[in-house]
Structure 1
């Protein structure tokens, strides 16, 4: 059986860790050997499971293993030579040692190395399901989205680098007073490049790997999720479900009734923006979702009628293709066969109306200056064409 991998991402504070833990418990209860790991630096997975966790996998229940990946351990394992070389250069130029240590780790790098633990578990074949509680932003996924660039460096630059560096090191120290990186540094960078390629291939395996967006029914949180969703589609990563957490039930009383009404409006907007993805909702529980029974109640609420380990939606709902003449956006609309198409662009938002259905999506920066010029329905999808900005035409 091929390993099934599910990654949860979303804005901080939306209950992402609890949802990941609940999913893992439900998969394990179905008889699947499951591991849930947190790459989120906040590391609240131990709190959610109500059991101590370390940087190594630990049994936390029948068929269930959990792990809080240590970014520091991963950095030392994969980036120590680079840090030492870059840190020495900075210290030589007057930067204090503590600041130098921080500056040698680019933003997102610690999360990237934490995700390498996912790669190890995915390739080991030890588990049927790997559930990942990702850091609150999708920035790291962008680092995994450039395999062609990584392959170019691997194939073109690295075979020559060792010989070039060997010849240039004495010259660089004598003329520029700088130490060029040694073989250990180049080996680590080459290893990172290979891992970028491998991770990209894992995440693009849409038959076995998917991401799920977790949000609360609040406008700002939904907007952030829509931006993340756009990038995931743009980079070819499959999102198979949307999780809306902490929805007020009907019997909330007069005080919270206006809040619930607003949440229901936001839920309608979520269904329009993310259609045809399944939108799975969980109620606002009266107490924190911590420990076995509350997590199982959360899992029951989210996955009633669904297999938590299944790929809940099979295809990318958006695909953007850039051409010399402009761009084309394919938007999946499986329930629409015909009808008049209406397009309206407001800033980076594109509002699409077809036969009573409305979709609002966030355009990526790459086409922020483009303007929609036409649309056509074909095979259950809407194909929208964009013209180049006037200054580039």
Structure 2
């Protein structure tokens, strides 16, 4: 069994969590063992699935094949530090341990801890589908730059001082393969889908174009764009909604023109919040049936 990875990204508030959760429920309903993980510090999987989740893999109630986790940045950093320091405690005296602790106290350690937790789920064959509900695009792009940056940094540091802000290089060189494997999977569109969620408006379209280009520079291909939040056609009898709907369709047309080789999907607004399994199934019936371009 080869795991399929699906990453959802986009501006804050465009509906990434809703689309990611809809996709997770869809695959779980198909009988695939599915995990949805959020890397967004403002995570709300607990809210949309209406149960406590937190910083641990949790089974979603009412669906045997679906599991979820909200990565807590602070807890991830603490776990990373302890994992890095544990082997050193048996080898070095207290003074050297303190130096290592200081090296593990910078912002780069927090970044690395978040990415390390992220790729833990890319290094597993326990699930058939792993879905990442990521933080807003700028944070996500930085997260995805890390394996490239740190793989090079570890290699260069090994030739020099042998120290990084993650501690002695000798203790983390094994991580280089882990990071390189993650890069390989992220760049392989057969293994990883990268999905941008956007609203049918100018700023959201511009952000999606810019971020997709940034990904391309990292060798990561955008495989799908979901245009979320369209006003349903039946509501356009109201002149206000009719005018707004026409503007939205203009941005849908622009997106189709710009992303002409990428699958484009559209999703209409619902008259209720997207929360709970039944609402995600309702959304999935539209997202996965009859709404795809290029199908």
User: Of 72, 75, 78, which residue of structure 1 is paired with 2:77?
Assistant: 75
- Name the structure, 1 or 2, with higher relative contact order (CA <8 Å, separation 6+): 2
Q: Does 1:254 align with 2:239?
A: yes
Structure 1 residue aligned with 2:135:
135
Gaps of 5+ in 2: 86-97
SS at match of 2:141: helix
Q: Does 1:242 align with 2:225?
A: yes
Larger proportion of helix? 2
- 2:224, 2:247 → 1: CA distance? 22
| 1:85 Cα deviation from its structure 2 partner | 4.7
1:210-221 equivalences under 5 Å are 210-221=193-204
Q: Does 1:272 align with 2:274?
A: no
Q: 1:193 to 1:74 in 2, by over 3 A?
A: farther
- 1:285, 1:11 → 2: CA distance? 20
| TM-score, normalised relative to structure 2 | 0.82
- 2:71, 2:143 → 1: CA distance? 19
User: Is the contact made by 1:79 and 1:188 (CA closer than 8 Å) also made in structure 2?
Assistant: no
Q: Does 1:25 align with 2:10?
A: no
| 1:205 Cα deviation from its structure 2 partner | 2.1
User: Is the contact made by 1:9 and 1:138 (CA closer than 8 Å) also made in structure 2?
Assistant: no
Structure 1 residue aligned with 2:68:
66
User: Is the contact made by 1:58 and 1:65 (CA closer than 8 Å) also made in structure 2?
Assistant: yes
Q: Look at both structures and tell me which one has the larger radius of gyration over its CA atoms.
A: 1
Q: 1:59 to 1:15 in 2, by over 3 A?
A: same
Gaps of 5+ in 1: 90-100, 166-180, 314-393
SS at match of 2:53: coil
Structure 1 residue aligned with 2:205:
222
1:185-213 alpha-carbon deviations (Å, 9 max, x no partner): 54576566554333212211221112000
SS at match of 2:228: strand
- 2:251, 2:50 → 1: CA distance? 32
1:157-176 equivalences under 5 Å are 157-158=157-158, 161-162=161-162
The number of residues matched between the two structures is 278
Q: 1:51 to 1:227 in 2, by over 3 A?
A: same
1:364-379 equivalences under 5 Å are none
1:163-204 alpha-carbon deviations (Å, 9 max, x no partner): xx7xxxxxxxxxxxxxxx899454576566554333212211
Structure 1 residue aligned with 2:39:
39
1:311-326 equivalences under 5 Å are none
1:1-393 equivalences under 5 Å are 1-60=1-60, 61-79=63-81, 85=99, 104-106=106-108, 110=110, 113-142=113-142, 144-145=144-145, 150-158=150-158, 161-162=161-162, 184-186=167-169, 190=173, 193=176, 195-252=178-235, 253-305=238-290
User: Is the contact made by 2:134 and 2:140 (CA closer than 8 Å) also made in structure 1?
Assistant: no
SS at match of 1:161: coil
User: Is the contact made by 1:39 and 1:111 (CA closer than 8 Å) also made in structure 2?
Assistant: no
Larger proportion of strand? 1
Quote the RMSD (CA, aligned, Å): 3.1
Q: 1:85 to 1:202 in 2, by over 3 A?
A: farther
Q: 1:237 to 1:217 in 2, by over 3 A?
A: same
